[in-house]
Amino acid sequence: MFRSFICLLICSLSFSCALAQELNDYLLQLQTTLSDNERLVVLDSILSKSRQSDPELFVEHSLEYITLAKEVGDYEAAAKKAMNLQSPLTFVLKNPHKAVSTITGVLSHKYKIKDSFLLGGLYLKRGGAHFQINLNKAIEDYGLALKNFGEDDVVHKADAYLFRGQAYSSAADFIAAGSDFNMAYHLYESLEDFEYMLHAQQGNINMFSKNGFYEKALEAREKRINKLVELDLKQYLASAYYNQAVDYGKTGDKKKEFELLQLAVDHLEYQRRFSPTSLAIHGELIEYYLRANQPEKIGPHLDFLNTWKEGGDSDLFSKMLYHSSMANYEEHEGNLEEALWHAQEQLTSSEALGIEESIMSSHQTLGKLYTRLGDYQKGVENQSAYIALQDSLFNRNNANALAYYQTLYEAEKKEKQLVEKNTNIKLLESNNRAFKRQMFFVSLATLFLFGVVILFRNRKHLTQKKRLQERFSQELLVSQENERKRISKDLHDGIGQRLLLIKNKLIQKKDEDTKWMVDTAIDEVRAISRDLHPFQLQEMGLTRALEHSISQIDENTSLFITSEIDNIDNLFNREQEVNIYRIVQETFNNILKHAKAEASRISVKNLSNQVIISIKDNGIGFEFTEKLNDVKSLGLKTIMERTKFLNGQMRVHSVKNNGTVLEFQFPLA
């Protein structure tokens, strides 16, 4: 056992030395020439190593990190460090003013912080620092935290309500405090965070108990105890039973006090053995038995206190509880010097913690002990201190009670005024209801009549406008096709024939270079002529013309096309065939220009009462509505107009980066 302890001690010392050495290395790096970003990295390492071991070093370099982060424009990093800095500054170094000014400095750049958690968290932390120096500003900060947290920051909103409730409670605004505690309770409940849900409930209970509203405290704590039992949170039951016993003791119900102390003892098995709760329960039972003149029953509880003294926790709160119980016990046993020492130790711990009730109890015990020991001056001094604290506490409780009932009165007064106003409003509404109903129906009928007339006229106008637009579009397409046909014929019969004559003369002169250029020009003229008007429709029919056009695209471009085309010759008149051909041609032009596709497939199906043409590609796709509304997207609009000309339907299915499918359905006469 001893060897194991020595090994553990050596390991612990080695780790501490290694940590200290590592921290010193980082501190030396700071003294070298570093870039701003490198300096931030080193500072971050120092903060991670010193946060638990050296609060003053942690604060010093946190401030340096925040200043540098703001200089380089990394305000979110500055915000994180400012939030971490609040607790050491406020509670360890006792400098909440510095915490406030540091966080305020970061908040001056709040518009550059986009993370709602950081922005709300800064206000939450500043509220925690203000809590120690200015309750009104703390309440304001918690409200700003609630405004800046986002929808996903539910748990932090619950914390803000909980802390603001505590601030309202300390400021004696009990109605607002109760409202915030309830909000925190419901938010924690929605997150199924049962432990914090009960902490929020405890806020209301503490508020009532601290200010002397014992009946309300007992009622609320009874509900909390039932909830703890329901949720099987046994680790909190001992402290709940203990606090309930203490409040029953303050109301004079000694029977209930003892019953609940026994319940608290029964649930100590779910606590750490030497926890402050265990110490408080055993100490309270010692005092109860002494008051009840049953000293023979204190043995097990006194043994527990003595065992704690040998190896229990050494925190100030536990010390305060221990010395309080031992002072009462030693005084009862007549060991006045021992009792005096314990009472003095209790006072020292109580003053360090700032717990007024324990300070008052210490002075009362010291006053009695000094008087019994013959030191009347110190006895009077401590008795006077006890009375002054008692009066102060009594006056504050009275003031808080007055504030509480005044707030209730004002709330009830406002509620009564609202009820009276609502009653008057209801009476007026009742008197005018029939008239309003009549006017409503008359107005509704008039509006309906006007609406029908306007709707009819608008519909007639829109129908006429649509017909004119469709007629104009169709005539424009026919005119456009005739013009294309004329230009195509002129190119073929005019320029084409002249180029052939030039070619023949060049053959006679054997000028091969010029002949090659003329051949190229002839091919281009023929291509333009074919694009302007598909003469192959007349020569080969619609089916072969489509196959030929698709073959030309497949051979002369990088687009790989597969096709499955039924025979659809002689199903449509000449103008309809031209429009079908143009629809397919324009669709493939769009694929080549915009889709960035590698492959495409066309399917032409001749069904009993309709022809279905489906063209699919594996390109980048597009947003149909966006393209249709784009004034530059003429191709898509032209395809739709030609489809309407054929009394057909066009369907588009396109997914960005996942290709497009266009399907056309043309009815057969």
- Residue 388: inside a domain, yes or no? no
512 and 556 share a domain?
Answer: no
How confident is the model at residue 601, as a pLDDT? Answer: 94
663 and 549 share a domain?
Answer: yes
Give the whole-number percent of the chain exceeding pLDDT 70.
77
Among 296-305, 399-408, 465-474, name the one with the lowest average pLDDT: 399-408
How confident is the model at residue 474, as a pLDDT? Answer: 57
Give the whole-number percent of the chain exceeding pLDDT 90.
17
* Mean pLDDT, residues 599-608 taken together: 92
Do residues 242 and 277 make contact, with C-beta atoms less than 8 angstroms apart? yes
**Rounded CA separation 401/408 (Å):** 10
566 and 482 share a domain?
Answer: no
DSSP designation for 297: G
Residue 191 in this model has a pLDDT that exceeds 50? yes
- Residue 101: inside a domain, yes or no? no
Task: Provide the residue range defining the domain that includes 641.
Answer: 543-667
pLDDT (tens digit, 9 = 90+) per residue, 39-72?
Answer: 888 888 888 888 777 888 888 888 989 999 999 9
- Do you know the residue count of the chain? 669
579 and 506 share a domain?
Answer: no
Residue 82 in this model has a pLDDT that exceeds 80? yes
How confident is the model at residue 422, as a pLDDT? Answer: 60
How confident is the model at residue 148, as a pLDDT? Answer: 93
- Residue 595: inside a domain, yes or no? yes
Residue 328 in this model has a pLDDT that exceeds 70? yes
615 and 645 share a domain?
Answer: yes
557 and 663 share a domain?
Answer: yes
Question: Helices 376-490 and 512-532: crossing angle, nearest 10°?
Answer: 110
How confident is the model at residue 414, as a pLDDT? Answer: 53
622 and 553 share a domain?
Answer: yes
pLDDT band at 33, cuts 50/70/90? low
* Mean pLDDT, residues 20-42 taken together: 77
* Mean pLDDT, residues 446-454 taken together: 79
How confident is the model at residue 182, as a pLDDT? Answer: 86
456 and 563 share a domain?
Answer: no
pLDDT band at 479, cuts 50/70/90? low
**Rounded CA separation 6/393 (Å):** 51
Residue 612 in this model has a pLDDT that exceeds 90? yes
Between 402 and 626, the more confident residue is: 626
- Residue 30: inside a domain, yes or no? no
pLDDT (tens digit, 9 = 90+) per residue, 329-354?
Answer: 888 888 989 989 998 988 888 887 66
**Rounded CA separation 27/57 (Å):** 10
600 and 623 share a domain?
Answer: yes
pLDDT band at 260, cuts 50/70/90? confident
Residue 419 in this model has a pLDDT that exceeds 50? yes
Mean residue pLDDT of the chain comes to: 79
The tokens for 518 are 């003329």
- Residue 35: inside a domain, yes or no? no
Based on its alpha-carbon atoms, the radius of gyration of the chain, rounded to whole angstroms, reads: 45
pLDDT band at 243, cuts 50/70/90? confident
Nearest to 102 by CA among 131, 135, 70: 70
How confident is the model at residue 2, as a pLDDT? Answer: 41
Residue 273 in this model has a pLDDT that exceeds 80? no
**Rounded CA separation 54/46 (Å):** 10
* Mean pLDDT, residues 237-257 taken together: 84
pTM higher than the cut 0.75:
no
pLDDT band at 523, cuts 50/70/90? low
Q: Dihedrals φ, ψ of 202, to 5°?
A: -65, -30
Last residue of some domain: 533, 553, 577? 533
Side-chain-side CA neighbours of residue 575 (13 Å): 13
Domain count, the chain: 2
Between 532 and 326, the more confident residue is: 326
Last residue of some domain: 533, 558, 586? 533
Residue 475 in this model has a pLDDT that exceeds 60? no
- Residue 209: inside a domain, yes or no? no
556 and 489 share a domain?
Answer: no
pLDDT (tens digit, 9 = 90+) per residue, 642-668?
Answer: 888 888 999 999 888 889 999 999 998
- Residue 22: inside a domain, yes or no? no
How confident is the model at residue 535, as a pLDDT? Answer: 60
* Mean pLDDT, residues 375-387 taken together: 88
pLDDT band at 1, cuts 50/70/90? very low
507 and 547 share a domain?
Answer: no
Find the DSSP H helices in 373-491.
376-490
Last residue of some domain: 533, 557, 575? 533
- Residue 460: inside a domain, yes or no? yes
CATH code of the domain containing 628:
3.30.565.10
501 and 600 share a domain?
Answer: no
How confident is the model at residue 476, as a pLDDT? Answer: 55
**Rounded CA separation 281/284 (Å):** 5
